[in-house]
Amino acid sequence: MTKQLLLGQTIGFSGNPLLQDWSDTVNFDSAGAVLIERERIQAIGPADRLRTAHPDAKVTDYGNAVISAGFVDAHMHYPQTGIIASWGKQLIDWLNTYTFPEESRFENADYAADVAERTLDLALANGTTTLTSFCTIHPASVDAFFTAASARDMAVVAGKTCMDRNAPDNLRDTVQSAYDDSKALLNKWHKAGRANYAITPRFSPTSTPEQLEALGALWAEHPDCLMQTHLSEQLPEIAWVQELFPDARDYLDTYEAFGLLGEKGLYGHAIHLTPREIDRLKETGAAVVHCPTSNTFIGSGLFDLMGLAKAGLSIGLATDTGGGSSFSMLRTMAAAYEIGQLKGTAIHPAQLLWLATEGSAQALHMSGEIGHLGVGAMADLTIIDLASTPAIAQRTDRANDIWEAVFATIMMGDDRAIKDVWVAGKSRTA
């Protein structure tokens, strides 16, 4: 197989910039190169040295563009692609008005396949090489997503969404069917190629205690799988959970009591956490996922990124499409910065880029495999043009260092800033 040598400005990380001085964690080379062979990164270093060492490699020169690990979206809903940016009130109203009617269409396998392909192509166009998605209650929706991802050689995480109450009749499964369908899909797809299955109760209000218990039992049988759900997104939602589970100590306890709290748990939003919940998430090694565009779009609240990081929680970053209002992880990073400002912390662009790559990969327990610009990682790469629009280009021209240039693209960039995307060692524009 032909060696590929990519030239540009390389940015990678050797540590967590949320916990250390960011400058101690960054590996930056303004004239760097990445060597790819057999789908993986074989070497990273100065362009001149790698060109001399590998004269047989096919060279792609990206000039001043940044070569980064591909973006990793740690929480989204591919069935909501068609309803993104729909006007609404808050969470429950939005679910009833837009989400549930749209998700009912995914019983149709052809419709599910069309949306899955469109979602993955939109993600790739925005530099996202891994998606973590909720599907619908329909097994066909899961098959469609994993099939489309396999055709694109993408590493993805997904699972059948389970709901047996507080949802329309045509979107409810049962305790038994949730267990049986999830188990069958898990056996079919988990670790098939680059696919990873996640056991997926939507959230406590739409599952009876019996269904949560059944899914907890399934997770205990397959502890190598991830489990994804929602946690403490909005205050009215938390009050509803308290009504539905009067004996629970808090929202997290509605999962913990049924075996749905663990190291490989992914808890989306996690805005309004109690001290006990923070302590238990840390103790178990579970991850929370920051969904900034969704949190502002639906009016949920301000996620305490730096506070939770300092408390020792693993944190991923996500678009939460379609509650989130953009497919772009650049826009998602920008929203995380804006929320950070409202919480009193100016998050550095290195920290934002780490969250969108290494941080999300860590939350998914895929560190070193995806979201990583390092030897041995899969060659899932995003090439970022730092002068993609006239407005960005004029700011980049005035930048005093790489981070001023990167920050301008984070704050103003969109899919036009994505010069190229590599998935499993292959360019999407080749």
Q: Band of the pLDDT at 359, cuts 50, 70, 90?
A: very high
pLDDT, residue 192, reads 98
How far apart CA 424 and CA 430 sit, in angstroms, is: 13
Sign of CA dihedral 184, 185, 186, 189: positive
Closest CA to 154 of 186, 126, 120, 127: 120
Average pLDDT across the chain, whole number: 96
Read off the DSSP letter of residue 415.
G
pLDDT, residue 92, reads 73
pLDDT, residue 87, reads 82
Residue 39 · residue 424 · CB < 8 Å: yes
- High-pLDDT (> 90) share of the chain, %: 93
pLDDT, residue 6, reads 98
- Give the burial string for 120-159 (b: 16+ CB within 10 Å, else e): bebbbbbbbbbbbbbbbbbbbbbbbbbbbbeebbbbbbbb
Q: What 3-state class would DSSP assign to 36?
A: strand
Q: Band of the pLDDT at 99, cuts 50, 70, 90?
A: confident
Mean pLDDT over residues 201-211, rounded?
98
Mean pLDDT over residues 142-162, rounded?
98
Mean pLDDT over residues 210-236, rounded?
97
Q: Band of the pLDDT at 1, cuts 50, 70, 90?
A: low
Q: What 3-state class would DSSP assign to 278?
A: helix
363: tokens are 């939350």
Residue 370 · residue 361 · CB < 8 Å: yes
pLDDT, residue 298, reads 86
- High-pLDDT (> 70) share of the chain, %: 99
pLDDT, residue 322, reads 87
Residue 332 has pLDDT above 80, yes or no: yes
How far apart CA 225 and CA 165 sit, in angstroms, is: 25
Mean pLDDT over residues 336-347, rounded?
97
Residue 243 has pLDDT above 90, yes or no: yes
pLDDT, residue 423, reads 98
How far apart CA 62 and CA 235 sit, in angstroms, is: 47
Sign of CA dihedral 199, 204, 209, 210: negative
Please state, as a whole number, how many other Cβ atoms lie within 10 Å of the Cβ of residue 404.
14
pLDDT, residue 430, reads 66
How far apart CA 224 and CA 377 sit, in angstroms, is: 20
Residue 236 has pLDDT above 80, yes or no: yes
Residue 116 has pLDDT above 80, yes or no: yes
Residue 88 has pLDDT above 80, yes or no: no
| pLDDT tens sequence across 117-139 | 999 999 999 999 999 999 999 99
| pLDDT tens sequence across 363-418 | 999 999 999 999 999 999 999 999 999 999 999 999 999 999 999 999 999 999 99
DSSP string, 66-120: EEEEPEEEEEEEGGGGGGTT---SSHHHHIIIIIHHHHGGGGSHHHHHHHHHHHH
Residue 386 · residue 405 · CB < 8 Å: yes
pLDDT, residue 356, reads 98
Listed as own residue / partner, the contacts of 348-352 with beta carbons closer than 8 Å and 24 or more positions apart are 348/17, 348/22, 348/403, 349/403, 349/406, 349/407, 349/410, 350/13, 350/17, 350/22, 350/23, 350/25, 350/26, 350/403, 351/17, 351/18, 351/22, 352/410
Domains and CATH numbers, the chain: 4-70+372-427 (2.30.40.10), 71-327 (3.20.20.140)
